[in-house]
A and B are shown apart, each in its own frame.
Chain A
Amino acid sequence: MITSVITEALGLRYPIFQGGMAWVSEAKLAAAVSNAGGLGIISAMNLNADYLREQIRLCRTLTDRPFGVNVMLMSPFVKDVAQVCAQEKPAVVTTGAGLPNAYMKEWLEAGIRVIPVVPSTAMAKLVERAGAFAVIAEGGESGGHVGDLSTMALVPQVADAVKIPVIAAGGIADGRGVAAAFMLGAVGVQCGTMFLCSQECAVHDNYKQRVLAAKDIDTVVTGKRLNHAVRSLRTPFTRKYLEKEFDPGTSGDELEALGVGALRKAAVDGNVEEGCFLAGQIAAMVHEIRPAETMIQDMFQTAEALLKGAPQWVK
């Protein structure tokens, strides 16, 4: 059994979070992960406060274990969504796409543990100072919005920079990744792409099939020109987008407009021509659709065996 400050403080059986993925991380998936002993997370994405409240309440009917909410700080509804979190009091709020400092006080007063996703040591230090319980150091191997640093380089540097617990994310889909993350100084992991292919995930089947069919080099990063780098599977959409991105004749606004709604088309409609299928570099390591519980159990069984076997390298 692998335990850490994360399992102990949050009452989890396994130190694993399911990433807050827009149009993917709904109450049903979050509840399945929480019931399996990890921390399920509902994505507030860019929808309004009513959606989030409904999802939190639905999740409570599906699990009596702790779960979290991911707040996307660039959402047009971020203020209302932040308030719903303070009212509904999920065990954890994770944040993405910015600095959550403006909302930290109301969340902390509500007794919520705030765990921001950070792509740099400076951001980790700032959120630690504002009262974050832990940080999720997410490397650029992950799917969705990505920073420049890789997990291998980022996690130990963040672990050195702050005193609060560090959770590693980006490029982790099996027990080897978990064991490595702990060696780098993390005390927990967050996985997204793997859970996309869990049985309980309600994303369109075409999306799951694309992930299952992916090979190691099948993800690309788009949007660097707009300062919104996003990793997704190579598709007709990304080909078209990248052509425009490198075309000086295409304005930033045109490029921005091209991306609007593309994730929804992938996740909800399963549109393989026009959809943007966010996924991390480990997509090729996900081979089958399985229950979230089986995924987590296998992962930690392997991690435990690997960590126990570590002395073999030391003579």
Chain B
Amino acid sequence: MTTFETISKLIAETKDMDITTIKPEMTFADLGLDSLDVAELVMNMEDELGVTIEISPALKTVQDVVALVDAQKK
């Protein structure tokens, strides 16, 4: 499973939404994620992927998160 697929799966689970509608260029706002959802998602991603995700204004889209996770995995 690619990082994007794993993250999409976690987003879909967090928001109870259709995984096929999630695209890399979508922002948290596009996905309807509020701060509560984002916090939940970050914790779930850290547990599942074994990485640390720091919330920052630069982290806006699904692709931003994928890049952050991939950088840590290397």
Asked if A and B bind, the verdict is yes
Q: Which residues of A contact B (CB under 8 A)?
A: 73, 97-99, 101-102, 119-120, 122-123, 125-126, 130, 147, 227
Instruction: Tell me the complex Cα distance, A101–B36, Å.
Output: 13
Q: Is the CB of B39 within 8 A of A120?
A: yes
* Contact of A119 with B56 at beta-carbon distance under 8 Å, contacts A125-B43, A126-B42 already known: no
Instruction: Sample 28 A-B pairs with CB under 8 A, ordered by A number.
Output: A73-B35, A97-B35, A98-B34, A98-B35, A99-B35, A99-B38, A99-B39, A99-B55, A101-B54, A101-B55, A101-B56, A102-B55, A102-B56, A102-B57, A120-B36, A120-B39, A120-B40, A122-B39, A122-B40, A122-B43, A123-B35, A125-B39, A125-B43, A126-B42, A126-B43, A130-B54, A130-B55, A227-B34
A-B pairs with the 3 shortest C-beta distances?
A122-B39, A98-B35, A123-B39
Instruction: Tell me the complex Cα distance, A97–B36, Å.
Output: 9
A/B pair count, beta carbons within 8 Å: 37
Question: Nearest chain A CB to B17's CB is how many angstroms away?
Answer: 14
Question: Nearest chain B CB to A190's CB is how many angstroms away?
Answer: 19
Number of interface residues of B (CB under 8 A): 13
Where chain A touches its partner, the secondary structure class is: loop
Contact residues of B between 34 and 74, Cβ < 8 Å to A: 34-36, 38-40, 42-43, 54-57
Instruction: Tell me the complex Cα distance, A226–B37, Å.
Output: 15
